[in-house]
């Protein structure tokens, strides 16, 4: 064998050996990759299981949270309902408290007036008659000047002059203020001051109906106390109601006069007064005669 052939054989052997080494290396690398792939597969499977477990847990937790939320909402709605009911009850309680307080104040004022002799049980008895208590009181003063005293007596001077001295507002009300009432008392020669004038005005309003409240909506005349330094106290009446009352009362006065010799002349004037204004003047002025 020649040197050339030997050299070629050696080179082929080295090449084969190198290829075998490279093949072994590749096989090792492939085995390593297979192991890594298996490990990754196992890891993915564990992750999938974990994810499934977490999803199940999250679903259960979400259901629990939803149930709790629904329960909280139901409790909240119930609490809100109770709170609203409590608020409504408190408002009713406050209104009742205010009404009772106002009634107690009127009761105390009434009791004070009873103790001082400015009102008596006769006012209650008069509620069952056709006449208003203020009309009855005015007739009492007319027939017996000493029958009344104090602010009740002063009120019987203001009442007959109410319509004549009143001012009619654009809203259809008749108004008599404290200065107007004071002028009426002064012209009648009745001793008075600002406070007694206002109390007498209260009596006019209170006795123009059958309630203790001088500002009751059912009364013919209502008392408004005014604001200190801004507006005076005043007596207020609906013009239409007052004039209707005067017309009806004039008819009653005529009927009553048949059995009352003292009022014969006054009631004759009522018969003659055909117009509403004439009846009004006759009715109110009749109560002042003989005072």
Average confidence (pLDDT) over 156-170: 91
28-51 confidence digits (pLDDT tens): 888 888 888 888 888 888 888 888
Q: How far apart are CA 224 and CA 215, in angstroms?
A: 7
In this predicted structure, the answer to whether residue 142 has a pLDDT above a threshold of 80 is yes
pLDDT exceeding 90 applies to what percent of the chain?
Answer: 21
What ranges make up the beta strands (E) of 5-164?
A: none
pLDDT attached to residue 110: 63
List, for residues 201-250, the tens digit of each pLDDT value: 999 999 988 877 777 788 899 999 888 878 899 999 999 999 888 877 65
Domain ranges of the chain: 1-116, 122-286
pLDDT confidence of residue 156:
92
Q: Cα–Cα distances in Å, from 151 out to 36, 44, 136, 200? A: 115, 104, 15, 5
pLDDT at 85 (0 to 100): 83
> Residue 124: which of 110, 138, 112 has the closest Cα?
110
CB under 8 Å to 147, separation ≥6 — which residues?
Answer: 140, 141
Condensed to tens digits (0 to 9), the pLDDT of residues 61-107 reads 888 888 888 888 887 778 777 788 888 888 888 888 887 787 777 66
Residue 223 has which token pair?
């008392």
Mean pLDDT (the chain) is 76
Yes or no: say if 162 and 204 are a contact pair by the CB < 8 Å rule.
Answer: yes
């Amino acid at each position: 064998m020649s040197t050339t052939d030997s050299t070629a054989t050696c080179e082929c052997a080295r090449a084969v050996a190198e290829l075998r080494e490279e093949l072994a290396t590749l096989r090792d690398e492939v085995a390593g990759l297979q192991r890594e792939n298996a490990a990754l597969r196992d890891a993915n499977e564990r992750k999938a299981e974990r994810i499934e477990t977490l999803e199940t847990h999250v679903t259960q937790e979400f259901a629990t949270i939803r149930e709790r939320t629904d329960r909280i909402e139901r409790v909240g709605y119930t609490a809100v309902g109770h709170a609203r009911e409590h608020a409504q009850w408190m408002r009713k309680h406050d209104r009742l408290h205010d009404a009772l307080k106002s009634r107690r104040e009127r009761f105390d004022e009434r009791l004070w007036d009873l103790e001082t002799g400015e009102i008596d049980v006769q006012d209650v008895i008069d509620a069952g008659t056709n006449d208003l208590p203020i009309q009855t009181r005015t007739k009492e003063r007319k027939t017996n000047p000493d029958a009344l005293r104090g602010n009740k007596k002063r009120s019987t001077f203001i009442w007959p002059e109410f319509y004549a001295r009143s001012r009619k507002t654009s809203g259809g009300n008749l108004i008599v203020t404290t200065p107007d009432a004071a002028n009426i008392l002064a012209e009648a020669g009745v001793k008075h001051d600002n406070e007694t004038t206002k109390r007498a005005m209260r009596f006019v309003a209170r006795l123009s109906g059958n309630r203790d409240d001088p500002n009751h909506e059912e009364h013919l005349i209502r008392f408004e106390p005014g604001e200190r330094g801004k507006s005076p106290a005043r007596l207020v009446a609906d013009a239409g109601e007052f004039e209707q009352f005067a017309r009806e009362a004039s008819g009653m006065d005529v009927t009553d006069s048949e059995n009352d010799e003292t009022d014969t002349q006054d009631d004759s004037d009522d018969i003659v007064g055909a117009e509403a204004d004439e009846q009004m003047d006759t009715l109110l002025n009749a109560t002042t005669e003989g005072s």
